[in-house]
Amino acid sequence: MFASLSDRLTATFRTLRGKGRLTEADIDGTVAEIRRALLDADVALPVVTTFTDRIRARAVGAEVSGALNPGQQVVKIVHEELVEILGGSARPLSFAKSGPTVIMLAGLQGAGKTTFAGKLAHHLKSQGHTPILVAADLQRPNAVTQLEVVGERAGVPVYAPERGVTRDDERSKGDPVKVAKNAIKEAVKRQHSVVIVDTAGRLGVDAELMKQAGDIRKAVDPDEVLFVIDSMIGQDAVATAQAFQQGVAMTGVVLTKLDGDARGGAALSVREITGVPILFASTGEKLDEFEVFHPERMASRILDMGDILTLIEQAEQKFDQVEAARMADKMAKGEDFTLTDFLSQMQQLKNMGSMKKMLTMLPGMGQAREQIENLDERELTRTEAIIQSMTPYERDNPKALNGSRRLRIASGSGTTVAQINSLVKRFEDAQRMMKAMAGGGGMPAMPGMGGGPGAFGGMPGGKKSKGKQVAPRQVKGKSGNPAKRAEQEKALRNRADAPPAPGSAFGVPQAPAPEFDPSQLPSLGKYLRG
């Protein structure tokens, strides 16, 4: 969603790198570029003005002039101000102290309220709550049926005493206010802890929509009123949010369709304009494509700093802990990494969702966006089919894969012998990497980070390793003179014992990092290509 904005901002900050001192002209130029990037991304003008004024005020002060790395300090300021615009910190849902918690969803038609209702119910169910969905949208054709389908997928019951409109030429049937009010009594009777009320929307804000939403609000007295907004509607997002704030006094905002390719900057304006926090973000149609909104993490994504915390949370939810412990024990014992292990790890990665989305959460991967977009995730399925076409003996002993065996596997998996050969080569690379890690070599070197004893063979910046550890603190060119040699070793020990220089990504004294060249990244597709 924010790819264009992210690219513009990171390109702007790149010009500040390596400068020992920033002039007022440098700061003015940077702020002007930030302003243009935000306006191009559809961020509301009042928000842009406030945002850039705060950045300029902080950048021209002692905060930047006294920093040893002023360029990085400016990036830090922009990050902090972006977090502030997005809400400062995540706010959890407010639950009722007694009785069921009532959550009312409001928004325009097509914003994704019904789909989000199912996602929220699924999320709350996973946390131990017992939600029930209420079909109070009797205006849109087949809205009740859609909610029932979503509820079935989420494994959550739906209260739908009225069918509403079933065809485009029919008028609304039933009273949505009465349905919502009776749903609370039903939830108490069935002992549901959360009631999620899906209300009707319109193509635009009108008096009828606001009256109905206001009447439902009075009838159910919700603990939360969540305004669901389509992130792709542009500048109209601000006016719509203000109208709903006045009409139903919303308590939280939900951003949907963040997986779209629109500029989406108007969605960033909603919190600043209304003062209402963003609570959730929806990134797709599937039930698990949903996340709690963390302003600091979203700001890091926009500035191409990655979102490792969300990635870790997803891994903790999806990864099989027993299987992870088995693999860790196997590595500790130095046992061989087999194709069965390779298949298991790949299936767990598939359970985490889109590989493209996971890669975009890594720092700096915005510069490799084109390679990520060209990644064919179907190759994971082909690889899975190839390994499952092998016998258990062949999975544990890939060296036994001769020509006839490979031909049989290719026929069984619907692939070619060349794809079998490519998989075996990739597996051997992965096996060498696991041996290097088990031998203390650490993770393989990544492009732009220099080589190391655990470097993945064939990747830029690393050298092939056969799992051998390199002896630490070796000195090249030791003198044959005992006195001089003793001086060399003493100097080496002093350097090793000296405390490391403090450093961070934002202006704390540190040695300048080598410039990352994204063109040196290997094609990501070759690691999945069958």
Rounded to the nearest 10 degrees, the angle between the axes of helix 339-351 and helix 321-332 is: 140
Are 448 and 469 in contact, with CB atoms under 8 Å apart?
A: no
Binding-site positions read 107-114, 198-202, 256-259
The answer to whether residues 318 and 301 belong to one domain is no
104 backbone dihedrals φ, ψ, rounded to 5°: -105, 130
Report the distance separating Cα 522 and Cα 513, nearest Å: 21
Identity of residue 296? E
**136 three-state secondary structure:** strand
The answer to whether residues 156 and 248 belong to one domain is yes
- What is the span of the domain harbouring residue 36? 3-86
**What is the SS3 assignment for 404-465?**
HHHHHHHHHHCCCHHHHHHHHHHHHHHHHHHHHHHCCCCCCCCCCCCCCCCCCCCCCCCCCC
Indicate the helix (H) or strand (E) that contains 42: none
What pLDDT is attached to residue 311?
A: 67
In a domain? residue 243? yes
Are 507 and 70 in contact, with CB atoms under 8 Å apart?
A: yes
The answer to whether residues 280 and 332 belong to one domain is no
The answer to whether residues 334 and 257 belong to one domain is no
Binding-site positions for GTP read 107-114, 198-202, 256-259
Which residues does residue 230 pair with via DSSP β-bridges, in sequence order? 256
- pLDDT tens per residue, the chain (530 residues)? 567 777 788 777 777 776 767 788 888 888 898 888 888 888 888 888 998 998 888 888 766 666 557 777 888 888 888 888 888 888 889 999 888 999 999 988 888 899 999 999 999 999 999 999 999 998 888 899 999 999 999 999 999 998 887 776 566 668 899 999 999 999 999 999 999 999 988 777 778 888 888 999 999 999 999 999 888 777 778 888 888 888 888 999 998 888 766 566 766 788 888 889 999 988 888 888 888 888 888 888 787 766 666 666 666 666 666 766 776 676 666 677 788 888 887 777 777 766 766 776 676 665 666 666 677 677 778 888 899 999 989 988 888 889 999 999 999 989 899 999 988 888 888 778 777 766 654 444 433 333 333 333 333 333 334 444 444 444 445 555 666 666 766 666 655 454 444 433 333 334 444 444 444 444 444 444 44
Provide the number of structural domains found in the chain.
3
In a domain? residue 141? yes
Identity of residue 421? N
Q: Tell me which of 239, 273, 305 is where a domain ends.
A: 305
The answer to whether residues 219 and 352 belong to one domain is no
Q: Which tokens is 280 given?
A: 């959730």
| Residue in 261, 318, 276 with CA at minimum distance from that of residue 5 | 261
| Residue in 67, 32, 73 with CA at minimum distance from that of residue 49 | 32
The answer to whether residues 162 and 212 belong to one domain is yes
Q: Which tokens is 275 given?
A: 């003062």
The dihedral formed by the CA atoms of 376, 378, 382 and 383, expressed in degrees to the nearest 10: 60
The answer to whether residues 212 and 336 belong to one domain is no
Report the distance separating Cα 24 and Cα 166, nearest Å: 63
The answer to whether residues 110 and 162 belong to one domain is yes
**135 three-state secondary structure:** strand
Report the distance separating Cα 76 and Cα 82, nearest Å: 10
Are 394 and 343 in contact, with CB atoms under 8 Å apart?
A: no
Report the distance separating Cα 509 and Cα 317, nearest Å: 38
Integer angstrom CA distances of residue 514 from 303, 403, 442 = 19, 46, 21
Report the distance separating Cα 359 and Cα 353, nearest Å: 11
The answer to whether residues 134 and 188 belong to one domain is yes
Q: Tell me which of 32, 56, 86 is where a domain ends.
A: 86
